Amino acid sequence: MSELKNKTVNGLKWSALERILSQGAQLVLMLILARMLGPKAFGLIGMLAIFIAIGQVFIDSGFSSALIRKNDRSNIDYSTAFYFNIFVAVIFYIVLFITSPFISDFYQQPELTSLTKVIGLSLIINSFTLVPRTILTVSMNFKAQAKASICSVIIGGVIALTLAKCGYGVWALVAQTLSMALCNAVFLNVVAKWIPSLNFSKESFSYLFGFGGKLLASGLLDTAYNNLYQIVIGKKFDVVNVGQYTQANQISSIPAMTMTNVIQRVTYPMFSHMQDNHKKMQEYYLLTIKVAALFIFPLMAGIAIISKPLIHMFLGSQWGEASNLIMVLAFAYMLYPIHAINLNILQVKGRSDLFLKLEVIKKILGLAIIAITMQVGILYMCIGLLFHSYISLILNTYYTEKLTGLKIKNQVKEIFPIWIITLISSFIAWTSANYLSEADTIQVISMICIAVVIYLTLICLTQKKVVKIILSIKNQG
């Protein structure tokens, strides 16, 4: 277990470093490109997001999770998954290519026909990365993945900025997507040092799809729902509104999804190793959600309170509506890492059936919320998303209790004090900064400083045990 602990700690550090640096760089690039290109360019890409995202889910089909969970995985298993990934990617791209005029007609945006045909190539490129990434994840080699991701972001960013400056508009964003995908595919395959065998096993496919099939269904539900907002906004409102929402959603989601990705990639193989040790899994589960809450809660609350002066300062008045949406979305995404930990437990326990059932329940509720809020406006749709996130937490923890024996109240007990401290420190910082100055720069700096001081003080006074654990992990590096 000590070897697993060391691998987990090392994996957590490198996975966190990769996500923070790569996603941080993407966030900075996105802000620069948003100012250069305006809402319409991001709106056009946002309209295509659901098709690319669904394609990616089909290509993976839950095979990555199935391979990680399978203790006796072989090269034949990897090869079977590899050929399946590529086959599905090619088929999906052909479908996307043929239907691109219909997508354009649906949104009444002629540019989408050519954009769809080109950006869809990223699906085929990404299909070559799934197995190498899985191999590196199984060995908990997140250092190699970090280097590949960071280099890809830098190269893609340079290409996008160059094209944007030369006046290529939305095509700069398309080039960024393709170049990042290509660089990442090359780097991961070189580092993984894996070559597929000329074998496709029906037995292996049966196992992988048997487990991954339910994850595919739940993944499609989740992806379709998460991207449904762009479709509704694009159809009911216009491309500029899609751009405003897309930008607000990206700024709000990148920090939360960065931590979610780190947690999923590290805890899934960790929990898989201890799936037969019930007591140890409970202990690590409670510690993981508490540590996640300590970092993500203040980060997301901070994004919410500084959104207005930050957007005005960096993006200008043309993106003003996005700041209002960020204030709501940040609190919705605050719980996503906690959701991820709960759902990892379901997968590790082999209950992909419960995973699917849970997703169906949550999405039915979500669709009802969208149907109601879309009649009022985009801001109220985001408020509905916030409400849905908190309802989802209750549902997720209920199923975790059934599988691990951990009472919901014990799970909430770990994170509720941190949530309260976050609200207190954020409210005081937001109120104080608004009284101090009307200047954007001063407001942002003062909000951050005041919130950090109050938050750290209260955490050190009330959460001494977990602070010691975090410091001990840091010292192991």
The pLDDT tens digits of the residues spanning 291-314 come to: 888 889 999 999 999 998 888 888
Rounded to 5, what percent of the chain is helix, strand, coil? 90, 0, 10
| Mean pLDDT of the region 111-138 | 91
Question: Lowest mean pLDDT: which of 119-133, 266-280, 288-302, 399-413?
Answer: 266-280
Closest among 185, 193, 157 to 31, alpha carbons compared: 157
Structural contact between residues 280 and 1, judged by C-beta atoms closer than 8 angstroms: yes
Structure token digits, residue 146: 């970090």
- Mean pLDDT rounded to a whole number for the chain: 84
Q: What is the pLDDT of residues 422-434, one digit of tens each?
A: 999 999 999 988 7
* pLDDT greater than 70 at residue 11: no
274 close to 281: Cβ distance less than 8 angstroms: yes
CB 286 within 8 A of CB 465: no
If one compares 190 and 399, the residue with the highest pLDDT of the two is 190
Instruction: Please name the residues in contact with 381: beta carbons below 8 A apart, sequence gap of 6 or more.
Output: 229, 232, 233, 370, 373, 374
Which residue did the predictor score with more confidence, 333 or 213? 333
Return the pLDDT at 1: 46
- Rounded CA-CA distance 401/282 in Å is 10
pLDDT tens per residue, range 186-213: 998 888 888 888 888 888 888 778 777 7
Cα–Cα distances in angstroms (integers) from residue 46 to residues 58, 277, 330, 411, in the given order: 19, 44, 19, 36
Count Cα atoms within 13 angstroms, Cβ side, for 210: 9
pLDDT band of residue 436 (cuts 50, 70, 90) is confident
Question: Mean pLDDT across the stretch 73-89?
Answer: 87
Does pLDDT of 476 surpass 60? no
Q: Highest mean pLDDT range out of 40-54, 227-241, 311-325?
A: 40-54
Q: What value, to the nearest 5°, has the Cα angle with vertex 340 and ends 336 and 345? A: 150
Q: Are 322 and 242 in contact (CB under 8 A)?
A: no
pLDDT band at 276 (very low <50, low <70, confident <90, very high): low
Name which of 56, 93, 27, 50 is nearest 314 in CA terms: 27
Q: Is the pTM of this model over 0.75?
A: no
Determine the average pLDDT of the residues in 171-183. 95
Single-letter code of the amino acid located at 134:
T
